[in-house]
Each structure stands twice: as C-alpha cells, then as structure tokens.
C-alpha cells in the first residue's frame, strides 16, 4: 500500500509544508490558554486558526467537517485525478469527537454521530464506495490505515481516502481533566518533571493505493494488539505494545536496527511514558532515535496518528540530517527505561524508514512502519 498524496492542518500551519518547517525546529509556541473550560484552571491547547468555510447542509456544518473541507481543497486535484470508478474509492475516517461540541447547542442528532464526517466526505466527493469511521480512542488514525489496507487487499476498493480529524471539545477536556493528566504548562514527555499533556486539534487526509510502482510513501508494516489491562491506564510492562511492535517489524520484514526514526506516542503522562519507554527499550535498546511531536502539535486525539503519520511522510521526503527534536526540559526520568531522544541540533546519518507509535484508552495499540518508495 502506497500513500500517493497527503495533506494536513493543525496549530502549526495550514498545510503539511508549513507544519514541517515549524516541527523540524521544535516550535512549541503555537498554543493558547483558555479559562472558559475548567473552573479555576487554564487549558493549554493547540488551536487551528485558519479561516474555515461553512457547509450549507446544516447536518454537516460541524468543525470537523470544515477542517476536512479545508484539507480537501489542498488535495482537490489529486482526488479528481484518481482514475477509478466512484464505487471503487473507499473512505475511512478516524475521529473520536465528530460534532459532539456542536450538538450541545444545535440539538441536531446528526452532529454527534461518529460517522458524520465519513458521510460528509462521501457526499461531498460524490463517491459511492465503502465508507466508515474508526474510533478506537487515540489509536484511531493508525487503525484507519490498517482497515484501508484490508479494503485494498480484499479487492473492496482500488484506492482509499483516509481522513483523520478531531477538534477541541468539552467532553475529552473534562475527561482528561478528571484523570488529572492535563497540563497548563508545555508538555514535556519523558521528563522527571512531566505533569501531563496538552490537547490539540488537527486534520490529515491521505490517498492510499495498491500500485507498488507508484511514487510515494510505502506502508511497510502494521502491528495491532490490545492490552486487556485497564480502561484508561496502559500496561506498565508494555507486553502488548511490544507485541504490536514485533508484529509491525515482522509484517515489514525488517530488523529493529533497520528503523531510522520513531515518532513516539509521547503524551507526557506518567503512565504512558513509563509504558512506552519500556516497549522501545525492549526492542530497540537505546539505539534508534525517537521523539514525540506532541509538545508542538498537542495531543490531537483521533487525529493524533494522522498528523504524526503526515509528519513522518514529510520527513522521509525532505530529510536533510535533521529529525524532529524531542522538546523537554532535558531532565530525563531515570525511573523509566532509557531511550535515545532526538537532540535539537544534532545531525543524523539517514532516515529511510520511520515508525509511528499510537496507543489509546482501553489498551488499543497500533504501530505503523513507513519507507520511501522512490529515490
């Protein structure tokens, strides 16, 4: 499966090139503080400030869809150039919020349906093939890729449009706050002083096809597993996270040392960082450079893996010796396993294979390995 085109939108920029330019230098300044969500507490969040067009059909006029519409405009020519019947182009959306925020005022039941963005995309693009929404908490984005690959492999679709989108909403903000894992200061994953995550919103759209001769980014391997451990806390021993990594490596038919960079889930919470450090060190020792881009984008929930996959794709395309730096206070938590965090000013020899980690509530784990399909 090849990613032949992609675009993204988040607090760092209006397209993937703008996002890349800020992420590669470690820009953590694109955040706002809000005092209207949680009483007596600020919420630090990465907000998209692009001008978004309203959607005439009131059933679909929600922020998630307006973000998707902005992305579609950037990929319009690529989508129109797809040379497949309309019923052979699938749609897989990853989201956890949809229009739950809008429903509070509109009382339109269409708004809180998780499938709303998938229905909107299908209607807007005038397609008639398979369409669905994947919602597995923060692993949704990579799970969407896994489903898209199944559609291609089983001849359900010839091409699939994958859309990962989520917006800021009270439901997840209140939920994460109740777990005491939101930070009103910049998130600093893997630091002994880490105090939690910052939230964000994002949209990322990918066109994936089966043509192995197409130029683009190849999905080399995907690994999925479930902890069956706790509803909100990952297994600290990382047994199933490790299993997911092994499955992805096996699927890609590569050894751990062949991975050049890992974009880690890196939320900045005590439980996730402990688990993820254990998983990485078990498989990769302290050899492969890793970093979390969430201190720059915020944790974008169902769109997190989408924006991080887009960042990996652009890194593979434009690698110049720099990797995305791991931004924190440089005080590593010695109580967790040691991993090789990317240094801001260091030059790295190569980046031909990237791995993206994604873990969600309920112990849902997904790993994806990508590589260049061109020189």
Which residues, 6+ apart, have CB-to-CB distance to 81 below 8 Å?
A: none
Q: What is the band of 362 on the pLDDT scale with cuts at 50, 70, 90?
A: confident
Which residues, 6+ apart, have CB-to-CB distance to 195 below 8 Å?
A: 183, 185, 188, 268
Q: Please state the rounded mean pLDDT for residues 217-238.
A: 92
With b for 16 or more beta-carbon neighbours within 10 A and e for fewer, the 338-350 pattern comes to ebbbbeeeeeeee
Higher pLDDT, 285 or 247: 247
Q: What is the band of 35 on the pLDDT scale with cuts at 50, 70, 90?
A: confident
pLDDT digits (tens, 9 = 90+) for 74-124: 999 999 999 999 999 999 999 999 999 999 999 999 999 999 999 999 999
For the chain, list the strands marked E by DSSP: 2-10, 32-38, 41-46, 89-94, 131-134, 159-166, 199-200, 202-209, 217-226, 261-263, 289-291, 340-341, 353-360, 364-372
What pLDDT is recorded for position 374?
A: 59
For the chain, give every residue range classified as CATH 3.40.47.10. Answer: 2-209, 217-372
Higher pLDDT, 232 or 82: 82
pLDDT at 373 over 80: no
Q: Taking each helix axis from N to C terminus, what angle separates 304-318 and 16-23, rounded to the nearest 10 degrees?
A: 80
Q: What is the band of 229 on the pLDDT scale with cuts at 50, 70, 90?
A: confident
Two tokens, residue 93: 């959306």
Q: How many Å apart are CA 136 and CA 233, to the nearest integer?
A: 15
What pLDDT is recorded for position 58?
A: 96
Among 23-37, 139-153, 343-357, the range scoring the smallest mean pLDDT is: 23-37
Give the number of other Cβ atoms within 10 Å of residue 14's Cβ. 18
What pLDDT is recorded for position 206?
A: 98
| β-strands 217-226, 199-200 pairing | unpaired
- 224, 145 contact by CB (below 8 A): no
What pLDDT is recorded for position 86?
A: 96
Beta-bridge partner residues of 163: 93, 205
What pLDDT is recorded for position 40?
A: 65
Q: Please state the rounded mean pLDDT for residues 225-233.
A: 89
The CATH number of the domain covering residues in 2-209? 3.40.47.10
What pLDDT is recorded for position 39?
A: 63
pLDDT at 318 over 80: yes
What pLDDT is recorded for position 375?
A: 54
| β-strands 364-372, 217-226 pairing | antiparallel
Can you spell out the DSSP letters for 19-41?
A: HHHHHTTT-----EEEEEEETTE
For domain 217-372, give the fold: Peroxisomal Thiolase; Chain A, domain 1 (3.40.47)
Share of the chain above pLDDT 90, in %: 88
Of the CA atoms within 13 Å of residue 328, those in its CB half-sphere come to: 29
What pLDDT is recorded for position 34?
A: 85
pLDDT at 257 over 80: yes
Q: Please state the rounded mean pLDDT for residues 342-371.
A: 95
When the pLDDT of each residue in the chain is averaged and rounded to a whole number, the result is 94
Q: Please state the rounded mean pLDDT for residues 272-276.
A: 96
- 330, 342 contact by CB (below 8 A): no
359-275-221 Cα angle (round to 5): 45
């Amino acid at each position: 499966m090849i990613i032949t085109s992609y675009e993204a939108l988040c607090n760092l920029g209006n397209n993937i090139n703008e996002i890349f330019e800020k992420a590669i230098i470690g820009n953590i300044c694109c955040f706002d503080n809000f005092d209207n969500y949680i009483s007596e507490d600020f919420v630090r969040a990465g907000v998209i400030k692009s001008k978004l067009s309203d959607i005439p059909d009131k059933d679909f006029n929600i922020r998630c869809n307006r973000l998707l519409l902005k992305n579609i405009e950037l990929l319009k020519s690529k989508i129109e150039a797809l040379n497949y019947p309309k019923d052979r182009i699938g749609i897989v959306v990853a989201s956890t919020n949809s229009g739950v925020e809008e429903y509070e005022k509109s009382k339109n039941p269409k708004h809180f349906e998780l499938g709303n963005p998938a229905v909107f995309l299908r209607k807007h693009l005038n397609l008639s093939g398979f369409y669905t929404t994947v919602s597995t908490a923060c692993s949704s984005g990579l799970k969407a890729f896994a489903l898209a690959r199944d559609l291609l492999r089983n001849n359900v679709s010839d091409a699939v449009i994958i859309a990962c989108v989520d917006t800021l909403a009270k439901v997840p903000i209140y939920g994460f706050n109740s777990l005491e894992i939101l930070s009103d200061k910049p998130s600093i994953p893997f630091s002994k002083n880490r105090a939690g995550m910052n939230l964000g919103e994002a949209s990322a759209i990918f066109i994936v096809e089966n043509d192995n001769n197409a130029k683009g980014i190849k999905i080399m391997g995907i690994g999925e597993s479930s902890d069956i451990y706790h509803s909100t806390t990952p297994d600290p021993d990382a047994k199933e996270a490790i299993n997911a990594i092994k499955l992805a490596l096996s699927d890609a038919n590569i050894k751990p040392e062949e991975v050049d960079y890992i974009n880690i889930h890196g939320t900045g919470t005590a439980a996730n960082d402990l688990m993820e450090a254990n998983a990485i060190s078990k498989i990769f020792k302290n050899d492969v450079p890793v970093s979390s881009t969430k201190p720059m984008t915020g944790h974008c929930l169902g769109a997190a893996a989408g924006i991080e996959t887009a960042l990996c794709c652009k890194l593979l395309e434009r690698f110049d010796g720099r990797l995305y730096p791991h931004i924190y206070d440089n005080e590593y938590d010695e109580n967790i396993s040691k991993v090789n965090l990317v240094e801001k000013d260091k030059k790295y020899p190569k980046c031909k294979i990237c791995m993206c980690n994604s873990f969600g509530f309920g112990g849902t784990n997904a790993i994806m390995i990508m590589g260049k399909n061109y020189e």
